[in-house]
Homo-oligomer: A and B are copies of this chain.
Amino acid sequence: MTRRPTLEDVAQRAGCSRALVSIVMRDAVGASDLTRERVKQVADEIGYRPDPHAQRLRRHRSKLVGVTFAAGQEFHADVVDSLYVATEALGYDVVLSAVTPHHDEARAVRTLVDDRCEGLVLIGPQISTRRLSELASRIPVVVVARRTRGVDAVRSDDVAGAVLGVDHLVGLGHRRIVYLDGGRAPGAAERLRGYRRAVRAAGLPELVATGGLTERDGADAASSLLAADELPDAVFAFNDRCALGVMDVLIRSGVSVPQQVSVMGFDDSPLAGLTHISLTTIRQDCVALARAAVARLMERLEGTVEAADAVDVVCEPALVVRGSTIPRL
């Protein structure tokens, strides 16, 4: 395997200086059209590609945005996708660092900082608020999908999302609407608040039960529901997975969904849409989330913003109506 071509190689074959080649490759001013053409052709011929490491070493700005995310999480994946387009539009590159069992968040962040990323986007971080603030004091940080005081955050309006869901169910004529709470999960408090507000506004009873994040939690909740005297008209679960658990147990027990009980979730995970499950749910606007996160990061990087005050950007979620919710019979 032969050495990769460098600026020097291009310069020699094109019969000009390295400086000129550099100018051409960067599309900077200061080269004649003729030279430009020639250099580009030579570069193409010998397959020259600038070395990003050398570029970043020499430039004062690495033009890198570090991103931590939970590998395997659909929602995170969607945000990452949008992050790619948002940053590219601004001339930045993304450096990914996955959070996995053997590669925890602290390590992921460390890598990113060492890599001289100019700013960080943390998707659904789990670390403590204290460490988050600590980090943010050393490097621009924007947190996605988690509310945090003192650090820039971009998240969905979970209150509004829950209201959206309840209003949908109310509109279908349901009266006894049970909400399955998400406990201490990010957004859980807001969703519960939204449920309470909407249900109260509609003059309906507040029926809050313990839910959770997983199918297992949903299944348990459904079992409790079945043990009660009367089945509710509808169940609104903290998230899709929980909703799936509910549906499964109900159906196994001979309760037809949505005929007897309407079920809806939150998140619009691919499972909800791709399958015959056809779960009505609330979708978070990943594109808006990513765009807002990058926009805020850029403000920090440009230094056009006071270091002290953190912002809390809120994006509107949307109702996705599918087959698991129908009018009350």
Contact = CB atoms under 8 A, between A and B. Distances in A.
Interface stretch (A70-78, A159-167, A191-199, A224-232): A70-78
Nearest to A270: B72
A8 B53 CA distance: 20
Interface string A39-65: 000000000011111101100001000
Q: How many copies does the complex hold?
A: 2
A49 B71 CA distance: 27
A104 to B, nearest CB: 10
A267 interface: no
A113 B51 CA distance: 10
Interface of A is mostly: helix
A210 B98 CA distance: 36
A81 B77 contact: no
A9 interface: no
Interface centre among A50, A74, A77, A101 (most CB of B within 10 A): A77
Contacts of A274: 214-216
Interface in A135-170: none
Contacts of A52: 114-116
Interface stretch (A25-33, A181-189, A246-254, A321-329): A246-254
Interface residues of A, number: 53
A80 B70 CA distance: 11
A276 B81 contact: no
B72 A76 contact: yes
Interface in A107-125: 111, 113-116
B219 A248 contact: no
Contacts of A270: 72
A230 B81 CA distance: 46
Interface of A: 4, 49-54, 56-57, 62, 69-74, 76-78, 80-82, 84-85, 93, 96-98, 100-103, 111, 113-116, 214-216, 219, 244-245, 248-249, 251-252, 270-271, 274-277
Given A53-B54, A215-B275, 7 more contacts: A52-B115, A70-B77, A71-B77, A84-B102, A96-B97, A216-B276, A251-B251
